[in-house]
Structure 1
Amino acid sequence: MPRLPGQNPISRRRAIQSLGGVVLGAGLGYAGAAAFADAGKGAKQAYPQAPAMPADARPQHISLTAKQYLRQLAAAPAAPTEILDYTDGPTILRVKQGAWLEATLTNQLHEHTTIHWHGIRVPNAMDGVPYLTQPPVMPGESFAYRFQPPDTGTFFFHPHCNTVEQLGHGLAGILIVEGDETRPHDHDLVCAYRDWRIDGAGKYQPMMTDAGASKAGTFGDHRTINDQLQPVFKVPSGGDIRVRFLNLDMSRIVDLGVIGADAWVIATDGNGLPPQKLKSWRLGPAMRADLTLRMPDAAGTRIQLVNYYAPQPIVMAELEAEGAPLAKPAFVPAPLKRGVIPEPRLEGAETFQLRLSASSTPAELPPDLVMPDGSVLRYADALCLTPKTFWALNGQPWPSQSHEVLPPPLVTFQQGKTYIIEIINQTPHIHPVHLHGHTFKVLSSNKGDVVPHFADTTLVAPKERVKIALVADSPGDWMIHCHIIEHQETGMMGIYRVA
């Protein structure tokens, strides 16, 4: 496959070993960090360890191979587009709540990668952040992720280094954890939305631009659901339909609506919610919403999934009734089962303020390094670097935009305690803020009423102050960042610690 932008043909493992204490020693700047030592002496970083799988466990084994595939994205006669995926997908995995999952990633890319299990409360060692929780999976190598999904719902997974290129070329999958329904649906439909940054011939446009990265993001023009342009899904006439909608785009905001039937929101970011009658539901990148609705009885009738975040509603997909209508009583939306996420105890909880801002000064980059073969490698892991810095958390841009040189944590939480995080947006742009490792409860906003709900990503508008709360129940160092990927990779990212 053609090399993705930013790839270096030299071996990154060899490059990292050659850097020795210069790179790895830079990670020693904060107390309690994982131990680093001089790579020239053979020492390695001590990454966190995952709990052992019980001997009597019968895991569901899944093979995921990150590689190039051809997919017909633009309409014929355009040629198929070279995309990245884990299967000849779209990749949709299903597992039962509490069952062990063993997902083995094999890397057939020309650069390293990992899998971050977005929204799933995995052990720290399984979170998939290179250099923070695991070594990067180099080309030709494999890594086995083993965990028990504790929560039901709609989740997804993606890489966490050079994300703007790898995710932008399609590298993402969906994980459905089953077991939350109090009444079964007649059809369970996954709708994964993204814009592809391709032209009419199926050729890629730039994934990142300075104008986009410093503002609202760089947008694509080819809007798809499950990699199809305005698909029509056949579903049972008169049936009860569950729509799992995922916004997998890197920058696009979606105001999700339904035309042609009444619908209710029953989950946010995979977490059950008392059914809310849908007018529209705003989803930033990485956010999800599960809907329930009753299809019309007449075969051939269509309802539309639309995006109202535009001057005119944009039809994203349609559901078409087919077959004889199912005999059903009057439709009443059924709530999902209550999750097992710990409820925050707000009385006496400490508050931590997280300020989203532009970066007044770029992160300082040390000089380039010349390798023994004469090639040049930028400081740290060049794959995880971007040359410019536009954003910061609490005034601190991610140093060198690299996972390999770890900054001190923004805050340390004590395990078992409840914390309130007040997210303050001091920028003129909206930001979807995502926490790894924990599911939080959205409490309030200074912009108006909020339906309290559990989530892993929350939108924060300009001049908005959103309060969320969590129980710090999972120890380790975890990422917190904006999920507009260009913002993440140009500074709006940090670490929070649970000790």
Structure 2
Amino acid sequence: MAAVNLTRRGILQAGLGAVAVALLPRGASALPVSYQLTAKRVAKTLPGCVGPSDLWLYDDGRNETLPIVLRAARGENFTAALKNELAEHTAIHWHGVRVPFAMDGVPYITQPPVRPGESFEYSFAPPDPGTFFFHPHCNTVEALGRGLAGVLVVDDPRDQGLFDVEHVIALKDWRVQHDGGFEDFLTDAGAAKAGSFGALRTANGMVTPSIMVPPGARVRLRILNLDSTRIPQLDLPGVKAVIVATDGNACAPFALQGWRLGPAMRADVAFIAPEKTGVAILLQDIFSTKPRVLARIVTAGEAMRSTKAVLRLPEADLPQPDLKAAQTLEFTLLAGNPDPALQAWAKQMGVSADEICLTQKVFWSINRQVWPGMGQGTGQGALPPPLAELKSGRSYIIELFNGTPHQHPMHLHGHTFRVLGSSERDLPPHWADTVLVRPKERVRIAFVAGQPGDWMMHCHIIEHQETGMMGYLRVA
């Protein structure tokens, strides 16, 4: 294991996904950070394979973890200069971060695509602490399938001293064959149903890694689902594990057991480690008849004696929607068919399928509107119509009804919303940017419309996104 730089800047930039992340001392302030990121092809042999796979990864010069982990500080300047060494255009979407519209990383919508050999600098001050991630927003199913994603942890001085140790655990499946070659990332059978699953399941690029924590330590696990399809149901038997943050945002603690973590969703899980050494706590997916162990958290080293009884984070500081004054919008998730009007629009604009990342199949829709592609190259004025038009600063309630037989993790760009409740289950109120909507379920969310712009809303089962279940909200 490489030595870790324990200066403040070193801690912020360490980005350790498979080992403990050192915590800043109480009262210490974080520093602005700057990264140089290269999107590139890397030949790497995945677990269980006999040959290397053609991965697409972000490289910041260290390339120590899979995925890469970056750190920033709440309210401090963060810069990431992207260089594209892939054979196709790309961009970076900072998932869950309330970035300025120009930094949202959607080709043709918020910025020109970063073409091969070109660079683009992302610069913003993250307004909220938490666990976030980043990825491209065009040809997403292949890019994510090949590993092009990273984790962004935004630290908050208010959190210092609350936990003794933390770990990042990024879950991902790989549609990889024994020889290292990939299967098709998008299949008709998968896209039309629950998605195309990968047989190789990993945490931090490994199969069932062992992660060490001191006995008796107050532990924080930042768990991310970076998969394009799978929806694990998490459990940590043997300890009293609670979720203290959803999608990076602090919440009133509630029990972990039974929590489904849809694609792109995150859960910060806290517990006090057993006081004996050599005890293994199993992070499991129990969404099947036989639990699947995803990672082992093992007590090792010198014991710690914590005097704090409550595991929780400071309350999230987010724009509070005015529910009494809020306008209600209804969005129904349905199967979809090609929309002749949108097809005519694309033909009229002279937009090629390759240029706009256009799928050739349509299976899904929002309010019976299907997204014809990821954007176009002739200006925002030629976009298809928005799902709704909002006013910046006003409060809105969205009712999401799932009229399909499959689950849909629905993500809204540039906003953090309050999940108010469900028609089908006890759903604790919490903040999120991605909410899982089960079949025949109606979920209500509320938020304050943010900066003006065209903010994407879509299912984060990427095959659903790329076959119609995407649109945008226009904020003026």
1:195 aligns with 2:167: no
Instruction: Indicate the larger mover: 439-448 or 399-408.
Output: 399-408
Q: What's 1:274 paired with?
A: 252
Structure 1 residues 235-290: Cα deviation after superposition (integer angstroms, max 9, x where no partner): 21221110000000001001111022221110000000111122221111000000
1:85 aligns with 2:57: yes
Q: For 1:493, which of 456, 465, 470 is the aligned residue?
A: 470
**Equivalent pair of 2:414/2:450 in contact (CA under 8 Å):** no
1:112 aligns with 2:85: no
Distance (whole Å) between structure 2 residues aligned to residue 278 and residue 411 of structure 1? 35
1:102 aligns with 2:75: no
Find the residue that maps to 1:212 and give its secondary structure.
helix
**Equivalent pair of 2:107/2:374 in contact (CA under 8 Å):** no
The Cα shift of 1:303 comes to 0.5
Distance (whole Å) between structure 2 residues aligned to residue 323 and residue 401 of structure 1? 50
1:238 aligns with 2:216: yes
1:314 aligns with 2:276: no
**Equivalent pair of 2:138/2:374 in contact (CA under 8 Å):** no
1:172 aligns with 2:149: yes
The Cα shift of 1:365 comes to 4.5
Overall identity of the aligned pairs, in %: 49
What are the within-5 Å matches in structure 2 for residues 400-415 of structure 1?
Answer: 400=373, 402-404=375-377, 406-415=383-392
What are the within-5 Å matches in structure 2 for residues 14-413 of structure 1?
Answer: 59-75=32-48, 78-87=50-59, 88=63, 89-90=65-66, 91-179=68-156, 180-181=158-159, 183-329=161-307, 332-361=309-338, 365=343, 379-382=352-355, 384-400=357-373, 402-404=375-377, 406-413=383-390
The Cα shift of 1:473 comes to 2.5
The Cα shift of 1:298 comes to 1.9
Instruction: Indicate the larger mover: 101-110 or 184-193.
Output: 184-193
Q: Extract unaligned runs of 5+ from structure 2.
A: 1-30
**Equivalent pair of 2:339/2:369 in contact (CA under 8 Å):** no
The Cα shift of 1:72 comes to 3.0
1:417 aligns with 2:394: yes
**Equivalent pair of 1:86/1:173 in contact (CA under 8 Å):** yes
Find the residue that maps to 2:38 and give its secondary structure.
strand
The one-letter code matched in structure 2 to 1:188 is: E
**Equivalent pair of 2:32/2:73 in contact (CA under 8 Å):** no
Find the residue that maps to 1:486 and give its secondary structure.
helix
**Equivalent pair of 1:286/1:457 in contact (CA under 8 Å):** yes
Distance (whole Å) between structure 1 residues aligned to residue 344 and residue 142 of structure 2? 24
Distance (whole Å) between structure 1 residues aligned to residue 356 and residue 396 of structure 2? 34
The Cα shift of 1:221 comes to 0.6
Instruction: Indicate the larger mover: 178-187 or 411-420.
Output: 178-187
The one-letter code matched in structure 2 to 1:142 is: S
Please give the root-mean-square deviation of Cα atoms over the aligned residues, in Å: 1.9
- The alpha-carbon distance between structure 1 residues 166 and 403, as it changes in their structure 2 partners (threshold 3 A), is farther
Find the residue that maps to 2:43 and give its secondary structure.
strand
Distance (whole Å) between structure 1 residues aligned to residue 82 and residue 98 of structure 2? 19
Distance (whole Å) between structure 2 residues aligned to residue 486 and residue 345 of structure 1? 35
- The alpha-carbon distance between structure 1 residues 294 and 60, as it changes in their structure 2 partners (threshold 3 A), is same
The Cα shift of 1:79 comes to 2.0
Find the residue that maps to 1:494 and give its secondary structure.
strand
The Cα shift of 1:381 comes to 3.8
Instruction: Indicate the larger mover: 190-199 or 255-264.
Output: 255-264
Structure 1 residues 446-497: Cα deviation after superposition (integer angstroms, max 9, x where no partner): 1022211110000111111111000012211100000000000111000101
- The alpha-carbon distance between structure 1 residues 332 and 359, as it changes in their structure 2 partners (threshold 3 A), is same
The Cα shift of 1:412 comes to 0.7
**Equivalent pair of 1:422/1:465 in contact (CA under 8 Å):** yes
Distance (whole Å) between structure 2 residues aligned to residue 59 and residue 142 of structure 1? 21
- The alpha-carbon distance between structure 1 residues 361 and 147, as it changes in their structure 2 partners (threshold 3 A), is same
What are the within-5 Å matches in structure 2 for residues 450-489 of structure 1?
Answer: 450-489=427-466
Instruction: Indicate the larger mover: 232-241 or 120-129.
Output: 232-241
The one-letter code matched in structure 2 to 1:434 is: H
The one-letter code matched in structure 2 to 1:84 is: W
Distance (whole Å) between structure 2 residues aligned to residue 199 and residue 325 of structure 1? 43
- The alpha-carbon distance between structure 1 residues 243 and 415, as it changes in their structure 2 partners (threshold 3 A), is same
**Equivalent pair of 1:390/1:491 in contact (CA under 8 Å):** yes
Distance (whole Å) between structure 2 residues aligned to residue 476 and residue 402 of structure 1? 14
Distance (whole Å) between structure 2 residues aligned to residue 125 and residue 436 of structure 1? 12
- The alpha-carbon distance between structure 1 residues 225 and 388, as it changes in their structure 2 partners (threshold 3 A), is same
TM (normalized to structure 1)? Answer: 0.83
Distance (whole Å) between structure 2 residues aligned to residue 187 and residue 498 of structure 1? 40
Structure 1 residues 370-407: Cα deviation after superposition (integer angstroms, max 9, x where no partner): xxxxxxx9725446111111111111101245454621
Q: Extract unaligned runs of 5+ from structure 1.
A: 1-57, 370-376
The one-letter code matched in structure 2 to 1:448 is: R
Instruction: Indicate the larger mover: 349-358 or 153-162.
Output: 349-358
Q: What's 1:4 paired with?
A: none
The number of residues matched between the two structures is: 433
Distance (whole Å) between structure 1 residues aligned to residue 375 and residue 346 of structure 2? 14
The Cα shift of 1:213 comes to 0.5
**Equivalent pair of 1:401/1:491 in contact (CA under 8 Å):** no
Structure 1 residues 91-114: Cα deviation after superposition (integer angstroms, max 9, x where no partner): 100111111011000000000000
- The alpha-carbon distance between structure 1 residues 229 and 390, as it changes in their structure 2 partners (threshold 3 A), is same
Distance (whole Å) between structure 2 residues aligned to residue 104 and residue 492 of structure 1? 31
Distance (whole Å) between structure 1 residues aligned to residue 369 and residue 346 of structure 2? 23
Distance (whole Å) between structure 2 residues aligned to residue 279 and residue 74 of structure 1? 28
**Equivalent pair of 1:367/1:378 in contact (CA under 8 Å):** no
The Cα shift of 1:206 comes to 1.0
Find the residue that maps to 1:293 and give its secondary structure.
strand
**Equivalent pair of 2:262/2:436 in contact (CA under 8 Å):** yes
Find the residue that maps to 2:464 and give its secondary structure.
helix
Distance (whole Å) between structure 1 residues aligned to residue 221 and residue 43 of structure 2? 27
